[in-house]
Amino acid sequence: MKILILNGPNLQALGRREVGIYGSKSWDDIALELSSYAATLGVDLVYSQSNYEGALIDRIWQAAEEDISGIVINPGGLTHTSVALLDALRGAEIPAVEVHLSNIFNRESYRHESVTAPGCIGVIAGFREVGYRMALAGLVSYLNVEKDREN
């Protein structure tokens, strides 16, 4: 099973950007821990990050052409604005889980709505880097249940 970890704008700056909100771990540190965790689940991870909406959309559609079983996506600030990203998530028909390091409902009011969440099977928010592990565990569990239903 192969899972795409897709990060949106500004997430390359983790560990040095608003540490009080997003934590002090760099993305490289988080990815290393996530890869170790993925190995215990028996899944392979593919990582991608872009600060550009179109590149994220292209990557979702590319995943639909690859052997990608699911997506863990942190759309960053595009969470609250990108109907185009929602359309790609829906159109690609790959189960996805949205993850946020911060609790978007405990922040500025404009962050309380996720435009992209309706294109996902679930949302994890507020657990900093642990949220990626939670999203991955939930997605893999979901995919395994779906596979059992097909058999």
**Given 100, 110, 132, 142, which residue is catalytic?**
100
From the list 22, 37, 80, 132, the catalytic residue is 22
Compute the distance between CA of residue 5 and CA of residue 98 in angstroms, rounded to an integer: 10
16-47 burial, b at 16+ Cβ within 10 Å, e below that, comes to eeeeeebbebebeebbeebeeebeebebebee
Cβ atoms of 120 and 76 closer than 8 Å: no
Please name which of 6, 142, 141 lies closest in space to residue 73, comparing C-alpha atoms: 6
Q: Is 100 one of the annotated active-site residues of the chain?
A: yes
The answer to whether 22 is a known catalytic residue is yes
Q: How many helices (H) and strands (E) does the chain have?
A: 5, 5
Task: Tell me if 120 sits within 8 A of 94, measured CB to CB.
Answer: no
Give the separation between CA 101 and CA 86, rounded to whole angstroms.
19
Q: Which residues are catalytic?
A: 22, 100
